[in-house]
Structure 1
């Protein structure tokens, strides 16, 4: 194993972060249970950062574990047992959070180098791949499963469990400090 390559992340002092509190809608709890916002860190990673380097960075911070490289599903879903970190490694896409027809939902354009921190319970889906080839490194809270829920009856017990999903003790990208620790 070679020496670790330290990434030149956008400094916290100049990082642009959008915070979204999304109300419950239909059977999607969104941010209503833990009251932690969806966080969108803009242009965190340098544009030439590969998926492998993003995964290595996440592993070094040790707040989440990278599970896959994937796009986002076109069907609305959420996770009830884990918070999720999305590091955009290729392309750009419009993502919908909060559920279809939710007046408090948000559409976010995510581009290569962005990071989204999606709290447990927040509905999400691909709205449109703007470049054909959108790809993310997808990571989850350490020690928790990434089981999907779809906002249907029969998931109530899983939804109640969201209140017990611990928030991050370290910012998944910046470590000892960072926006995830300020919510």
Structure 2
């Protein structure tokens, strides 16, 4: 595998999107360059399962009960992470993003061939939250989502494990 650039984004509560009070979003630039056609298999090998392939919704949403990985297998897009006033991030084929539970994401624009493979640690069946005021109890759920046992791309000793294991939850 090629050398991978790792970026982190800490996203605070943003209007109707709770984000994650402790865990940063992790962006792996170029991590899938050799794996586009085997992206779901790589995730599965590292116990991130219940995978699917498609695009990213064009509205703000988040999952309160699980973390999510998105691997860009074709095209490019701009995705806003963190809600209305969040961070716009450009992603392209070969990139991957680990989205902590509670972090909002929305596709702003994309090439016509944009596709991602998504998966969840231990194959959790994710919920779908949109920031409705009746969903505010989701914050309690978010704080208790367990850490994944493996990095979705690199396994037991990947950047995710190193970065998230140094986080003090609930501080």
Normalised by the length of structure 2, the TM-score is 0.90
Whether contact under 8 Å (2:20, 2:142) holds in the other structure is no
1:140 aligned to 2:125?
A: no
Give the count of matched residue pairs: 163
Q: In structure 2, what is the Cα distance between the partners aligned to 1:67 and 1:39? A: 19
Q: In structure 2, what is the Cα distance between the partners aligned to 1:87 and 1:58? A: 9
Give unpaired runs (5+ residues) of structure 1.
1-8
1:120 aligned to 2:104?
A: no
Aligned ranges 1:3-152 → 2 under 5 Å: 9-10=1-2, 14-32=3-21, 35-46=22-33, 49-50=36-37, 53-62=38-47, 64-100=48-84, 102=85, 105-129=86-110, 131-152=111-132
Deviation per residue, 1:28-61 (Å, 9 max, x gap): 11122xx1100100001126731xx111111112
Q: In structure 1, what is the Cα distance between the partners aligned to 2:137 and 2:125? A: 15
Deviation per residue, 1:60-115 (Å, 9 max, x gap): 122x1042101000010000011000000010000001111x2xx21111111111
Aligned with 1:56: secondary structure? Answer: helix
Report the CA distance between 1:122 and its aligned residue: 0.3
Cα-Cα RMSD: 1.4
Report the CA distance between 1:140 and its aligned residue: 1.1
Aligned with 2:78: secondary structure? Answer: strand
Q: In structure 1, what is the Cα distance between the partners aligned to 2:33 and 2:133? A: 42
Give unpaired runs (5+ residues) of structure 2.
164-171
Based on CA coordinates, which of the two structures has the bigger radius of gyration? 1
